[in-house]
A and B are shown apart, each in its own frame.
Chain A
Amino acid sequence: MTTPTALLEGVSKRYVKLDERRNLATSLLPGVRARRSETWALRDFDLRIEPGESVGVIGPNGAGKTTLLRVMSGVTSPTVGRARVWGRIAPLLAVGVGFHREMTGRQNVYLNAAMLGVSQREAEDRFDQIVEFSGVGYAIDTPVKHYSSGMYVRLGFSVAMQVDPDVLLVDEGLAVGDAAFQRQCMDRLAAMHRDGVTLVVVSHSMQSITSLCQRAVLIDRGRLTFDGDAAEGVALYHRLLDPSPPSARVDIASQRHVGGVSLVEATVESPDGDAASLPPHAPVEVDVHVAFQRSVANPCLSLGVSNAQGAMLAVFHSPLGTTYRNFKAGDTAHVGFAFRAHLVGGEYTVTLGVTSSDGIEVYLQSGGLAAFRVRDSGNLLGVVDLEGAISVDGHPLEHTSGQPPDRAARTVHDR
């Protein structure tokens, strides 16, 4: 077996609450005892990271993500278990690795490099690269107390990123600086990863996790609850944050296509006019004629709307597990879907889905089966029309959405 980069064996970390920490009085005086209030930030943590891996650490606030990085960097030791990390470790932290405010950028770069275990020669060799990456070259001989917070962070990052670490520990560090610098950091991290640097990234940005990491570990209340593919970990994390009961939600990941229902015809109509040129917010009615080749009890029916770029904008479906009708092989049915086109101008298509009552078995999934078009109404960007209105000092400006002026009256009338 090769040497791993990090090996955590049964690691648990206990913190004793700060305000009840024993003080001199409680240690010396007999009869006075500090009440101990303990928190286990990590519980029975087993983790092995191989050289060159990129691991995203995700989990809710207070789950123990930062403690994990603290243990890995050696700042703190596990209460139980053993933690080992091989190679040069560089932490990349949101607030930078402690600069001395009175010192110039140049001095801080050297001090930081020394703290990261870089030799003087190596630091000198890298100096130009560090400064160039940070983009604060013009102020490198100014004390950092005169730096803006952005400059401060950029310089701190640059040191950690340019000193050739074997392991880079990134704690929520990616959300700093302007968009351009963030982009630059992400690119640099990706390049370092390609060069074999092991990345351990703590982030609440699932986008950076999935783009940087192949592997994700999910921590919940100090315990490792998932360790595997990053996309899967992110999906699990979302479910952890929004724990709807499983029956109320279609679990797309576990769906199986089995067939058995076919589409006969689909039409799109609107009481407001031609489906090829609908006014904004027009009611849309989709009529679908389906034929059953198998018996299906209480199928779940769904309709999706996609834009011209193929992005699925919305899906709505009948409640899972409702009892309404048992279809036998040979039956046909007309399914009516109705919705309002709260959409910006453009071409849209609908997708039909017929699944088993629990949403798992897919009998029919048919995309692009009918199209409609919403007229351009101006003043709108994005994909949905929020029926927005803008006023200044109470005086409404021209309507931003395509809604006609008599909106209020119309809405009442529609009901």
Chain B
Amino acid sequence: MTDRPTPLPAPTVDTGAGSARVPSIAVQLWRHRRLLGWLARTNFAMRYRGAAFGLAWAVLVPLVQAGILVVVFSRVGGLHSVEDYALYVIGGTVWWSYFSQSVASGGVAIVAGGEFVDKLWFPRVLLPIVAPLANLVQLVITAVLVVAIAAFRTGLPGWRLLLLVPLAVLLLLLASVIASLGALGHAWYRDVGHAIPVLLTLGFYVTPVIYEPGALGDIGRLLAWNPVGGLLDLGRAAVSATQPIAWRGLGVALGAIAVGWLLVEWAYRRYDHDVADLL
């Protein structure tokens, strides 16, 4: 065996009364970035293993869904005033799909990863973030397709395409904080696992995915506080020059991420070493 470094003055495990301050979740994530990368790679590789069309399914599902919604709802009046309703729905659906799928699998990731959690310690917050991270691959591919569709229908919106980068980052962060809080709650109360799909179904309708907020009148103003909605509008603005950039919605999303992050910091630093007992 090669020369072993003398044990660090800082312990690797320090739990219980009087233990040293737990480093910020951001620091923990950075320190364990390699493991996070491996977990995300594994998650991605395993999902489409054995499926001949692999990743194509990941892209196909939101696009088919968007297609159906366009066909159905373009015949229902009063929902839209935008000139290209199809692009509006496609833009909404694909970003929503990313968010929804990431939260659905990330939100139960701690219990699902019980096999690992029970055997050795690593920051538990890694687990719920794996799905949002792995889903980025599919997000990028669908984004390219959306841009292609937009270019075909209305022409490329120029510099605005760059907005797709902050969009992806913000979607990742929002999905990660919500999945993290959900996953911890799920470890505590298994009811959360059943509630997540219900809430996501509800979320699809209280988020302006297929309609414009204005279509709902007064309720629409309430929906302006939906952080996902703000991000969907950012995504639409990125591919369509006629869509205004909704700064307010962006602010709501940033605020939600900030608040969510603080909650994640508090909850995971406090309960990180107790989660295994709940499995």
Using CB atoms and an 8 Å cutoff, list the residues of chain A in contact with chain B.
3, 5, 11, 15, 21, 23-24, 27, 51, 70-89, 91, 93, 97-98, 100, 102-103, 107, 110-111, 114-117, 119-120, 164, 166, 192, 195-197
Contacts and interface: CB of A to CB of B under 8 A. Distances in A.
A164 B1 contact: yes
What 4 A-B pairs come out closest when comparing CB atoms?
A: A77-B273, A74-B121, A77-B15, A74-B13
A76 B191 contact: no
B16 A81 contact: yes
Given A74-B12, A115-B35, A116-B120, A86 B18 contact: no
A76 B274 contact: yes
Given A111-B42, A114-B38, A82 B15 contact: yes
Contacts of B117: 75
A119 B189 contact: no
B16 A75 contact: no
A84 B4 contact: no
25 contacts: A11-B16, A23-B191, A73-B119, A74-B273, A76-B15, A77-B16, A77-B273, A77-B274, A78-B17, A79-B16, A80-B17, A82-B18, A83-B16, A84-B15, A84-B19, A86-B12, A98-B119, A102-B49, A103-B46, A107-B45, A111-B39, A111-B42, A114-B34, A114-B38, A120-B34
Interface in B41-99: 42, 45-46, 49
A102 B277 CA distance: 27
Interface in B103-150: 115-122
B202 to A, nearest CB: 18
B217 interface: no
Given A3-B7, A75-B117, A164-B2, 17 more contacts: A5-B7, A11-B16, A73-B121, A74-B13, A77-B273, A80-B16, A82-B17, A84-B13, A86-B8, A87-B7, A87-B12, A98-B115, A98-B116, A100-B46, A110-B38, A111-B38, A166-B4
B276 interface: yes
Nearest to A107: B42
A264 B91 CA distance: 108
Contact of A83 (B2, B7, B15): B15
Contacts of A83: 13-16
Task: Tell me if B's interface is mostly helix, strand, loop or mixed.
Answer: loop
Given A97-B119, A115-B120, A84 B11 contact: yes
Nearest to A71: B15
A89 B4 contact: no
B9 interface: yes
Contacts of A166: 4, 7
B186 to A, nearest CB: 11
A116 B12 CA distance: 12
B46 A102 contact: yes
A102 B274 CA distance: 29
A27 B18 CA distance: 29
A358 to B, nearest CB: 46
Nearest to A192: B1
A144 to B, nearest CB: 12
A81 B190 CA distance: 29
A75 B120 CA distance: 6
A92 B248 CA distance: 53
Nearest to A85: B13
Given A77-B273, A98-B119, A89 B1 contact: no
A84 B11 CA distance: 6
A115 B116 contact: yes
B8, B120, B277 interface centre (most CB from chain A within 10 Å): B120
A87 B8 contact: yes
A27, A114, A119 interface centre (most CB from chain B within 10 Å): A114
B276 A85 contact: no
B15 A78 contact: yes
Contacts of A21: 278
Contact of A93 (B2, B14, B19, B119): B119
Contact of A119 (B14, B17, B34): B34
B17 A81 contact: yes
Nearest to B7: A86
Given A83-B13, A83-B15, A88-B12, A97 B7 contact: no
A27 B16 CA distance: 25
